[in-house]
A and B are shown apart, each in its own frame.
Chain A
Amino acid sequence: MATPPVKVYGPPLSTAVSRVLVCLLEKDVPFQLVPVNMAKMEHKKPDYIKMQPFGQVPAFQDDDITLFESRAICRYIAEKYPNKGTAGLFGTNPLVKASIDQWLEAESQSFNPPSSVLTFQLVFAPLMKLKQDEALIKQNEAKLEKVLDVYENRLGSSRYLAGDEFTLADLSHLPNTQFLVEKTDKAELFTSRKNVGRWWSEISTRPAWKKVVEMQNA
């Protein structure tokens, strides 16, 4: 079998890497996952920095381009393969696409910051034997609650964030939420909110995401 032209660099446990993996799986685009050992600082070595000058994961390559930033990679994949796999991932007309983009930006600007801090503090810091910052946890939990209140309201009148279909906007939330719900005592933030809970159980049981979780647990 020929080696797929698409390469993703980084560990599947990384939230940003898993965001790209789930997008590729939803779009049925074959790829090769190239490991990057972050404990050994491989992401800061010259060969990697050539691809990603900030020394962050993931990096992405196909025949035509090298790209970084997981949400830019997801947009590129969805635009390059509009008719493959889950077709409506980035909408089928400009107005729908803009609404998806709006919620993808909301994830990026409002959901990601507090949920990333909580994921780091509650999941990764203990693994790395780092001391947790209780004040930071409290502060970011409060921020996340406010964001989830907005989502609770939105998801009361819309099945998914951007409308009736699962899109990149919902997909982008999978990585951090998976950690918070499954690996911390903060699952309640999501499950105690009726609409958010319903939305989470729908999006997290999609086959593509289940496959990524398997890769993370391998």
Chain B
Amino acid sequence: MVVKVYGPAYASPKRVLLCLVEKEIDFETVPVDLIAGENLTPEYLKLQPFGSLPVIQDGDYTLFESRAIIRYYAEKYKTQGTDLLGKTLEDQGLVNQWLEVEAHNYHPPLLNLVLHIMFSPHFGIVRNEQVIKESEEKLAKVLDVYEDRLSKSKYLAGDFFSLADLSHIPFTSYLVGPVGKEYMIKERKHVSAWWDDISSRPSWLKVLEICK
């Protein structure tokens, strides 16, 4: 039986797909159309009670929240594929630290840009230029911290590619693409080199291929 990942067309589920590809774990995808409200059906809400994407089913086991899912598989299959957690407890601490930074500092302003620029007027979002401006400013400040960090460290948690870097890929891909703010990455020398590196990994190219 193969892991089922719901919602592959969207960014958060792609965190999970990236992880599964890096870990050489087989999976199937199940489409969920947010615009048609397929995430709000009783069947879906039984799996993911907040109506968010993704959720996975692995046999009888159901798990939601992409960052919990990737931690689970990275740990379960630690010795298979790419080691995304680091070798020591301390390495893992740093991976979790930067994964939290992504969740709390990077993701919220970027999500605002994605919702207002790409998804409005769907999901009840009315495009708001003030929100866009403030979100870009917040994100720029976070990227300045990343620029400093990445001038001293090849990847966020250290000299190894980890879940922390991986977690950034799907939404950053929106930022440099349809959101139209590639300059935010390109203007920062070390962030730019880091983005070129992580976005050219075979796993990301494979995920883009699968989700075409």
0/1 interface trace, chain B 81-100, chain A, CB 8 Å (1 if under)? 00000000110111011011
**Contact B68–A104 (Cβ < 8 Å):** yes
Q: How far is the CA of A108 from the CA of B52 in the complex (A)?
A: 14
Q: How far is the CA of A150 from the CA of B104 in the complex (A)?
A: 22
Nearest CB on A from B34, distance (A): 16
Nearest CB on A from B93, distance (A): 4
**Contact B90–A109 (Cβ < 8 Å):** no
- Chain B residues whose C-beta falls within 8 Å of the C-beta of A110 in the assembled complex: 50, 52
Question: A201 near B: Cβ within 8 Å?
Answer: no
Question: B116 near A: Cβ within 8 Å?
Answer: no
Q: How far is the CA of A153 from the CA of B45 in the complex (A)?
A: 12
**A/B pair count, beta carbons within 8 Å:** 83
**Contact A95–B61 (Cβ < 8 Å):** yes
**Contact A154–B100 (Cβ < 8 Å):** no
- Chain B residues whose C-beta falls within 8 Å of the C-beta of A147 in the assembled complex: 50
Question: B202 near A: Cβ within 8 Å?
Answer: no
Question: A86 near B: Cβ within 8 Å?
Answer: no
0/1 interface trace, chain B 127-144, chain A, CB 8 Å (1 if under)? 000000000000000100
Question: B148 near A: Cβ within 8 Å?
Answer: yes
Question: A129 near B: Cβ within 8 Å?
Answer: no
Q: How far is the CA of A54 from the CA of B96 in the complex (A)?
A: 16
- Chain B residues whose C-beta falls within 8 Å of the C-beta of A150 in the assembled complex: 49-50
**Contact B94–A101 (Cβ < 8 Å):** no
Interface size classification for chain A: 20 to 34
Q: Knowing A54-B105, A150-B49 touch, does A101 contact B65 (C-beta < 8 A)?
A: yes
- Chain B residues whose C-beta falls within 8 Å of the C-beta of A94 in the assembled complex: 72, 75-76
Q: Knowing A53-B145, A67-B97, A101-B72 touch, does A76 contact B89 (C-beta < 8 A)?
A: yes
CB nearest neighbor in A for B67: A105
Q: How far is the CA of A11 from the CA of B149 in the complex (A)?
A: 26
Contact check: which of B49, B63, B65, B94 meets A67 at CB < 8 Å? B94
Interface residues of B (CB under 8 A from A): 49-50, 52, 61, 63-65, 67-69, 71-72, 75-76, 89-90, 92-94, 96-97, 99-101, 103-105, 108, 142, 145, 148-149
